[in-house]
Structure 1
Amino acid sequence: MLVAAAVCPCPPLLVPEVASGAAHEMDQARAACYDAVGVLAAARPDQLYVIGPAEQPGRGPHPQGTRGSFRGYGVDLEVRLGKGDASRRELPPSLAVGAWLLERTDWTGSPVEGLGIGEPLARARCEETGKELAASADRVALLVMGDASNCRTLKAPGYFDERAAAFDAEAARALGAADIDGLLALDEELAYDLKAAGRSSWQTLAGAGQGAGLGGRLLYDDAPYGVGYLVASWS
């Protein structure tokens, strides 16, 4: 059963070494992520899953010990998903940011596994995957990586779309309220149009949270680069 979840954005800019001179611009988001991960540790789960959007070949399971790096962003920084060295596969960027957060907060709790989720994955498949994760152990926690819309301003990577603010506001409300039905109601096609990379991860969380009776808190909601970044905690 799901006992806790942390929802965090996944831009590599969250990592100060990648952001370099602009690192301070993500200070508030980073601090909120640390707080959310702290709630996961306090829940003392038997199993932690880090889930996030991924392209091929990064989709699918990533066992504990899988490595990731930020060399593609010009930084010689390597991370590892928990202890060990269990795989030659490399973590997709979203899970590498998740692994970095766990290392940064000195995660010493339960075993950790990763799951890269295709952004176009249908709502029903996301929901079913979440249920399977929640049923995998008596006490399951999720670190859910993903961004909101990519179209909040004219300078945003996806350019401006007038629908973006309303989509992000509803996602923030649902995540902050641990509203399962609200998350499952997020429009898949609209999320794709708005390049909202977190939609599939959030709907996987919704599946995992069914019947768990968790409450939510929204810890951060902003779009510093025209991309919606949300941080929430469920417990």
Structure 2
Amino acid sequence: MISRVAVVPHPPLLVPELVGGAVAETQAVRAACLAAARDLAAHDLDWTAVAADPTGPRVLENVAGSFLGFGVDVPVSLSAEPSSVEPAMPLPALVAGWLREHAGARSVRVHLVPPDLPTADCVALGAELGASGNRALLVLGDGSHRHGEQAVGRPDDRAGSFDDGVRAALVHADAEALKALDPVVADELGAAGRAAWQVLAGVPGPWRCTRSEFSAPFGVGYHVAVWEA
């Protein structure tokens, strides 16, 4: 059963080659994500991952891809010896592969769910993953992209309280608080991580949080946390 979880965002800026001269400005988020991923790899070299993407539901494993669609051909793979290439690998899977490689893990099996997956279905998937026999879960998802003047689109005063609620839920390993996130509000605020966090809420516990960080340096909320059983 799953006994360690790493929660991370999945922005392209985690990859140094994609940010040009902004490597220093993005270093703090990158370092936090890599620390969480290395914690997960120290627990188990084979990961299960979950993230929301419009191409879901589907599962990706043992394939290679590239960040070429984001400006630079940075190859990644979901396993040490991929059997095929996924030409249009979705961003969350690319980031999962990049973190796998840099954390020294052996493989990651990525479950992509629709961004609008209802809460009950998210929780049911979490229960299923928790009973699968896997030990390490990577949860990928961004917070609201409507923080402050750098917001994508327009700022929204609700972004702060929304991500404060997510952060508190992660800090306290509070599955019920994650289940209570409103999918409609999350969508209005551009919080791409809502479905993945609610999958986490369905994974059987109890849990405690051993690492938690939050930042919104570019108008997007980035949550990083580690839970252990």
TM-score bracket for the superposition, by shorter chain length: over 0.9
- 2:17 paired residue number: 17
- 1:157 paired residue number: 152
Deviations 1:8-55 (A, max 9, x none): 11000111111111121121111111221122123237x521221212
Stretch deviating more after TM superposition (194-203 or 97-106): 97-106
Separation (CA, whole Å) in 2 of partners of 1:198 and 1:129: 15
**Is contact 2:47-2:109 (8 Å) kept?**
yes
Separation (CA, whole Å) in 2 of partners of 1:217 and 1:144: 15
Deviation at 1:87, TM superposition (A): 4.2
Q: How many residues align structurally?
A: 227
Task: Give me the TM-score of the superposition, normalised by structure 2.
Answer: 0.93
For the residue of structure 2 that corresponds to 1:79, the secondary structure is strand
Separation (CA, whole Å) in 1 of partners of 2:211 and 2:180: 19
Paired letter, 2:141 = G
Paired letter, 1:130 = G
Deviation at 1:59, TM superposition (A): 3.9
Separation (CA, whole Å) in 1 of partners of 2:43 and 2:104: 15
Structure 1 residues without counterparts, runs of 5 or longer: none
Paired letter, 1:165 = G
Paired letter, 1:141 = A
- 1:230 paired residue number: 223
**Is contact 1:60-1:116 (8 Å) kept?**
yes
For the residue of structure 2 that corresponds to 1:2, the secondary structure is coil
Deviation at 1:94, TM superposition (A): 1.1
- 1:2 paired residue number: 2
Identity of aligned residues (%): 39
**Is contact 1:12-1:18 (8 Å) kept?**
yes
Paired letter, 1:32 = A
Separation (CA, whole Å) in 1 of partners of 2:126 and 2:216: 27
Deviations 1:182-222 (A, max 9, x none): 110111110000010000000001111x2x22211443211
Question: Any residues of structure 2 matched to 1:1-235 within 5 Å, and which?
Answer: 1-44=1-44, 47-56=46-55, 59-63=57-61, 65-89=62-86, 90-108=88-106, 111-137=107-133, 139-208=134-203, 210=204, 212-235=205-228
**Is contact 1:175-1:218 (8 Å) kept?**
no
**Is contact 1:10-1:146 (8 Å) kept?**
yes
**Is contact 2:41-2:103 (8 Å) kept?**
no
Separation (CA, whole Å) in 2 of partners of 1:36 and 1:196: 21
Paired letter, 2:97 = A
Paired letter, 1:187 = D
Separation (CA, whole Å) in 1 of partners of 2:153 and 2:174: 27
Stretch deviating more after TM superposition (86-95 or 35-44): 86-95
**Is contact 2:100-2:108 (8 Å) kept?**
no
Paired letter, 1:127 = V
Separation (CA, whole Å) in 1 of partners of 2:194 and 2:79: 25
**Is contact 1:153-1:161 (8 Å) kept?**
yes
Deviation at 1:68, TM superposition (A): 2.2
Q: CA RMSD in A?
A: 1.6
Separation (CA, whole Å) in 1 of partners of 2:121 and 2:20: 38
Deviation at 1:112, TM superposition (A): 2.5
Task: Give me the TM-score of the superposition, normalised by structure 1.
Answer: 0.91
